[in-house]
Amino acid sequence: MAAFTYAPAIVLLPFVSFLVALFAGDRMPKGGALAGITATGGSLLLSIWVALTVAGGSVHNEILYQWTTSVESLQLNFGLLLDPLSALMLLIVCLISFLVHIFSLGYMNDEGETGLPRYYAGLGLFTASMLGFVVANNLLMAFMFFELVGLCSYLLIGFWFREDGPPSAAKKAFLVTRFGDYFFLIGVVGIFATFGTGLFAPITEGGEVVAESFPMLAEHAIVDGEVEGIAMLETVGMGPQAWFTVLGLLVLGGVIGKSAQFPLHTWLPDAMEGPTPVSALIHAATMVAAGVYLVARMYGFYAISPTALAVIALVGGFTALFAATMGLVKQEIKQVLAYSTISQYGYMMLALGSGGYIAAVFHLTTHAVFKALLFLGAGSVIIAMHHNENMWDMGGLKDRMPVTYWTFLAGSLALAGIVPFAGFWSKDEVLYEALIHGFGTEGGLGTAYLAAYAMGLLAVFFTGFYTFRMVYLTFHGDARSDTARDPEPVHWNVKGPLTVLGILATTIGFINMAPVAKLTGAHIDFLHKWLTGPEEGGWPALLSTDLHHYEELLHEVPHVDPAYPLGGEIGTLLASAAVSLGLALAGVLVARSLYGGADPVEHTDKLGGLKTLLMHNYYQDEYQVWLATGVTHPLARAMDKFDQGVVDGVVNGVSSVSLFGGSRIRRIQSGVVSNYATLLTLGLVLLLAAFGIMGGWF
């Protein structure tokens, strides 16, 4: 397939733009932006080509570069896995990156920022790393690009390095995600040690499997009891089920870090110190998605572990609710969006945990679009407000920046989950899957699902509220500051990307209107079909990364099954949609009644002590900072004292005793050490020569 031959260029083009912008950006017009736009545009076109080829039924899983072949029993490679999931993700990443590059012309170039080559180099390297992560066909390659993505995030959050905030936020982002990646790395090493491979999907040649994947090996071990090829079990003294769960949870550490899930979510709100286009690209639409994408990528491995599924679902549901409550009281527009991002990724985790593979990928897609839109819209507002982000200084921007307003409104309706905007369809499907699997699954797992569902459902109300609190404060009412009365105009390079994303946020939900499809029987759940593949043969038979396979596994091992408690499938479907839509609307209406007036006032004081708790983000930052500076650092200093006093003290004690005698003899020496440099050297050479002559060598 020609498209697959050129697929590596999707990753390489942005990498080239990184090099060009870094070394030649200051000699180019627009500081290297054009290189980035060209490269991501090219990658976007190639991704479309790849997606079309995948749509034609072809998939690709091949080794591209052998990182090390030195140890024959375990070779480590880079390879491409192009299947419907990665093709979709390629489209998302390339599209958002392309639009963010264009938007940056307005946000960075037009605002007269310095250091633009560094900025565009960072964007290029980020895009390349993210795309490398997306196409990775094995876990080690995924880990490597996962870390590189973290580096780029560090560089871009800290872009304004001359200030105090951004470097600190960058450090925190890297450190917190590194903590997660520590567990991920153990998981990677463990999976390679256990299965002898890190492949996500089997590599086949002419229908024969030439290299098996680790999810398939795990499946054979659990379902068919074939444990011959599985190492490590004896070493750790566990059964396959328990050990695979441990490995899965270890990898999940990285996921929780990158996708900013509780308790490693604290870095993301701080990351808003970076330029707003970066927040849109990295901290909303793509990098944060990497964690969720990884779970989807190796879903076959999680589907056989009920414990891991329960953990994913509960972490997701809890994070969705927890982050949404913190978003209620924030005063800065980007902070609201940051907490909503954490919350929305919680929904995706909830979906993955509760067997809603399609729902998760669907929400990942719609969220990427509408959250990128909201961040870019916020960026537009920030340009207009001369970089004041406080919503209480805004108001009334609706009439002064209509394009931003209408597109932002579309994104907000999508985020709140109002029909027919994109977020409604995907969030509804997430909750529906959690609900039916919660009722259908026996035992603790089902209970976990229902608990997670309840948390996710409650979060819908809060989401509607904080979203429209933001909309009303920013755009409605009277202008509350001079800047808001006379905002700076924005140009085509801001309005263009907003319009594209605005249209998408309105319409992209139509790719998977599962409820409508069920009601009418029309085959319009395209995403579902995209990820299911043909009934017989085709790519699912080759890769086993299709929905049917996952559903079978979920049914067979953890016994995740659907049940319809409210009047059959249709009735449950409608009831679930009605409940979530009703809660979202209620949230919107409450926001309107509190903040919709001409001159809104802050109502958060009515929350009393709760307000303080929410404003301090449940003291999550405080305890983590305390762990670093209150526990680890004093411990390090105590160890340093121990080292200086005890370990080195013993040495010095020994030496002072023995040197006492020596100090007498030392007086014979003249004192200038340097003068015998030559003497000592000469002496050694003479000695060597003497030995040489003795040995009859010369």
Torsional sign, CA 206, 210, 216, 222:
positive
* Residue 627 is a binding residue for another protein (CB under 8 A): no
Q: Which stretch binds another protein (CB under 8 A): 63-71, 202-210, 480-488, 525-533?
A: 63-71
Name the phi and psi angles at 390, rounded to 5. Answer: -75, 120
Q: Compute the distance between CA of residue 132 and CA of residue 146 in angstroms, rounded to an integer.
A: 9
Q: Compute the distance between CA of residue 79 and CA of residue 563 in angstroms, rounded to an integer.
A: 40
Name the phi and psi angles at 584, rounded to 5. Answer: -65, -45
Q: How far is the CB of 143 from another protein (least distance, A)?
A: 7
Q: What is the number of alpha carbons within 13 Å of residue 72 lying toward its C-beta?
A: 0
Q: How far is the CB of 474 from another protein (least distance, A)?
A: 31
Give the interface size with another protein as a residue count (CB under 8 A): 71
* Residue 633 is a binding residue for another protein (CB under 8 A): yes
Q: Compute the distance between CA of residue 442 and CA of residue 249 in angstroms, rounded to an integer.
A: 22
Q: Compute the distance between CA of residue 219 and CA of residue 436 in angstroms, rounded to an integer.
A: 25
Among positions 447, 520, 612, 655, the unique one binding another protein when judged by CB under 8 A = 655
Q: How far is the CB of 489 from another protein (least distance, A)?
A: 32
Pattern 74-93, another protein, x by CB under 8 A: x-------------------
* Residue 656 is a binding residue for another protein (CB under 8 A): no
Task: Look at residues 105, 99, 41, 109 and name the one whose alpha carbon lies nearest to residue 497.
Answer: 99
Using CB under 8 A as the binding rule, the residues of this chain from 189 to 248 that contact another protein are 189-190, 192-193, 231-232, 235-237
Q: How far is the CB of 411 from another protein (least distance, A)?
A: 33
Among positions 12, 30, 62, 171, the unique one binding another protein when judged by CB under 8 A = 171
Query: What is the residue type of 84?
Result: P
Count CB neighbours of 598 within 10 A.
Answer: 9
Q: How far is the CB of 277 from another protein (least distance, A)?
A: 21
Nearer to another protein by Cβ, of 192 and 424: the residue is 192
Using CB under 8 A as the binding rule, the residues of this chain from 556 to 595 that contact another protein are none
* Residue 670 is a binding residue for another protein (CB under 8 A): no
Using CB under 8 A as the binding rule, the residues of this chain from 277 to 306 that contact another protein are none
Among positions 570, 684, 686, 689, the unique one binding another protein when judged by CB under 8 A = 684
Pairing of strands 203-205, 208-211: antiparallel
The answer to whether the beta carbons of residues 25 and 35 sit under 8 Å apart is yes
* Residue 639 is a binding residue for another protein (CB under 8 A): yes
* Residue 651 is a binding residue for another protein (CB under 8 A): yes
* Residue 185 is a binding residue for another protein (CB under 8 A): yes
Q: How far is the CB of 636 from another protein (least distance, A)?
A: 4
Give me the residue label for tokens 């200093």. 637
Using CB under 8 A as the binding rule, the residues of this chain from 124 to 143 that contact another protein are 140, 143
Count CB neighbours of 492 within 10 A.
Answer: 12
* Residue 56 is a binding residue for another protein (CB under 8 A): no
Q: Which stretch binds another protein (CB under 8 A): 42-50, 67-75, 284-292, 378-386?
A: 67-75
* Residue 632 is a binding residue for another protein (CB under 8 A): yes
Using CB under 8 A as the binding rule, the residues of this chain from 35 to 54 that contact another protein are none
Pattern 140-169, another protein, x by CB under 8 A: x--xxx-xx--x---x--x--xxxx-xxx-
Name the phi and psi angles at 533, rounded to 5. Answer: 80, 180
Nearer to another protein by Cβ, of 608 and 696: the residue is 696
Q: Compute the distance between CA of residue 56 and CA of residue 54 in angstroms, rounded to an integer.
A: 5
Q: Compute the distance between CA of residue 5 and CA of residue 14 in angstroms, rounded to an integer.
A: 17
Nearer to another protein by Cβ, of 67 and 526: the residue is 67
Please list, in sequence order, all residues whose beta carbon lies within 8 angstroms of the beta carbon of residue 166, skipping any fewer than 6 positions away.
Answer: 157, 158, 159, 160, 273, 274
Task: Look at residues 260, 277, 295 and name the one whose alpha carbon lies nearest to residue 119.
Answer: 277
Write the DSSP symbol of residue 565.
Answer: T
